[in-house]
Amino acid sequence: MAIDFLYPQYEVVRNLDRCITCRACERQCANEAHRYDADFGCMVSDESRCVNCHRCVSLCPTRALKIVKTDHTFKENANWTGKAISEVYRQAGSGGVLLSSMGNPEPLPIYWDKILINASQVTNPPIDPLREPMETRTFLGKKPGRIARDAEGNLINNLSPQLQLNVPILFSAMSYGSISYNAHASLARAAAALGTYYNTGEGGLHQDFYPYGDHTIVQVASGRFGVFQKYLEAGAAIEIKMGQGAKPGIGGHLPGMKVGPDISKTRMIPEGTDAISPAPHHDIYSIEDLRQLVFSLKEATAYKKPVIVKIAAVHNVAAIASGIARSGADIIAIDGFRGGTGAAPTRIRDYVGIPIELALAAVDQRLRDEGIRDQVSVVIGGSVRNAADLLKAIALGADAVYIATAALLALGCHLCRTCQTGRCNWGIATQRPELVKRLNPEIGCTRLVHLVTAWDHELKEMMGGMGINSIEALRGNRLMLRGIGLTQKELDILGIRHAGE
């Protein structure tokens, strides 16, 4: 047996005084970290199998379990950290690209945390959202540049198709395949209940979810999986995915192992085959090409649905967004470098792309400077973690935000970042039937509705504090923001002043 250079990252700590050997931990761990030892008459664990997903911890009825980080250490080295060394060992063992899941965990700047929010005092009154009307409903889509009237002076309806959002939050793209049927069912039901939208990702739309079409954004990505006339017609909007924040510049790969009968049918590919999305759209090499696809999709749906173009936040995002606005798209979605994924090469996830806060500010400013901000709505994603992030995003210029990691957390995800193994103990990022059933959509939907409703309450409270009573009055209202501990350059890009200024 070859030497394993790696020591397990976590330790399973079991309080044997509390353990009642009910074996729930053993039955619930798809990684088989726990087992009952009949000779010892107690539970034992193999920490090398533990991924720190907390399924056992959450279900243990006597709170006898906890997972701790191992204090096993390499010789201290600020350059060759334990992580850096372990990654070399892993690659020397496997010869492969390092894979990771979910968002960027590296300690890179989080600008949300360096932005502070204003409130009214004395000279302008705050509003109590519990007593006075407070509007968090918003509409996404191209806004008309001017009012048109007919010969009799009546208004001509020149409004492009719009998406109505009762809260400025949408669930971002996660394909059926990367996440489970029950996760999709939870998102679809919650989107319908909240009056917002969820996004199919590029995995097609399962036939069971067509009834939720009015609350579905259907995605067309480089693999074109599951795209056909009925699919396009089913959604409330169509999203062209050019890139994803977690892995800008590369495509996707759903292993054949996960392509069972249902996914095969939904994606329209043979069972057991790998679903590989190319890095580029092979028919898009310019803004003009993009324009062709935008209008092909509009033509196919009789110009009744807004078209979204989603890109990853990369270095020249503002110029790209300007091109997209001119391509005929109704909505631009920008995904920052902390956005999640079911699997991405670690180096790309961690070091490709830029923070969404900077990208958003740059895009909004560029579109305003060019006088085309009203031609598109801007939706951002890539780690909006709470209502404060949401409010800051809107004040920086976003029309609404996409959330996915937060939504998965609501469904039980513990960010163990091992989605790529397909053994999600929470029934989210897996296709194994016995694991998928662990996510009851009735519970999932309720928790999602709770989360978004709670954020909506918080958003209203904060808006009220600022004396603002509608999303429209908050959008792009950067005077409501102040930076803390930021350089002048960062403040200039964010378009905000420093606290105290």
Partner 1 sequence: MKRVYVNEKWCLGCHLCEYYCAFANSGKSDMVKALKDHKIAPRIKIEERDTISFAVSCRHCEEPLCVKGCISGALRIWQGAVHINSDQCVGCGTCILCCPYGALSRTEQGAVQKCELCQKNEFGQPLCVQGCPNKAIVYEER
Residues that bind partner 1 (CB under 8 A): 17-20, 22-24, 27-28, 58-59, 61-62, 433-434, 437-438, 440, 442-443
- Token reading at 251: 């495509």
CB of residue 20 to partner 1, shortest distance in Å: 4
CB of residue 21 to partner 1, shortest distance in Å: 8
CB of residue 434 to partner 1, shortest distance in Å: 5
- CA 189/CA 452 separation, integer angstroms: 13
- Token reading at 394: 């809107």
Residue closer to partner 1, measured from CB, 105 or 433? 433
Residue closer to partner 1, measured from CB, 298 or 438? 438
DSSP state of 352: S
Cα dihedral 249, 255, 258, 260 sign: positive
> Which H or E run contains 300?
helix 287-300
Non-local CB neighbours of 364 within 8 Å, separated by 6+ positions: 373, 378, 396, 397, 398, 476, 495
Residue closer to partner 1, measured from CB, 15 or 77? 15
Residue closer to partner 1, measured from CB, 62 or 94? 62
Phi and psi at residue 195, to the nearest 5°: 75, 40
Residue closer to partner 1, measured from CB, 45 or 200? 45
CB of residue 267 to partner 1, shortest distance in Å: 24
Residue closer to partner 1, measured from CB, 19 or 284? 19
- CA 223/CA 202 separation, integer angstroms: 8
**H runs (alpha helix) in 301-383:** 317-326, 346-351, 356-369
Cα dihedral 136, 140, 146, 147 sign: negative
Residue closer to partner 1, measured from CB, 24 or 401? 24
Residue closer to partner 1, measured from CB, 65 or 356? 65
Residue closer to partner 1, measured from CB, 43 or 220? 43
Q: In Å, what is the CA distance from 441 to each residue of 44, 80, 358, 437, 447?
A: 32, 45, 36, 9, 9
CB of residue 258 to partner 1, shortest distance in Å: 18
- CA-based nearest residue to 459, from 173, 125, 172, 127: 127
Residue closer to partner 1, measured from CB, 13 or 443? 443
Q: In Å, what is the CA distance from 394 to each residue of 233, 380, 408, 463?
A: 30, 9, 22, 11
> Which H or E run contains 231?
helix 229-234
Query: In 166-315, which ranges are E strands?
Result: 169-171, 198-199, 216-220, 237-241, 252-254, 275-277, 307-312
CB of residue 427 to partner 1, shortest distance in Å: 9
Residue closer to partner 1, measured from CB, 187 or 393? 187
CB of residue 27 to partner 1, shortest distance in Å: 5
Residue closer to partner 1, measured from CB, 17 or 132? 17
- CA 460/CA 439 separation, integer angstroms: 31
CB of residue 404 to partner 1, shortest distance in Å: 23
CB of residue 64 to partner 1, shortest distance in Å: 8
Q: Taking the CA of residue 398 as centre, how many other CA atoms within 13 Å lie in the half-sphere pointing to its CB? A: 27
**CB distance 163 to 154 below 8 Å:** no
C-beta neighbour count of 457 within 10 angstroms:
15
Non-local CB neighbours of 342 within 8 Å, separated by 6+ positions: 101, 174, 178, 179, 419, 420, 429
CB of residue 438 to partner 1, shortest distance in Å: 6
CB of residue 36 to partner 1, shortest distance in Å: 12
**CB distance 471 to 394 below 8 Å:** yes
- Token reading at 205: 């739309």
CB of residue 208 to partner 1, shortest distance in Å: 14
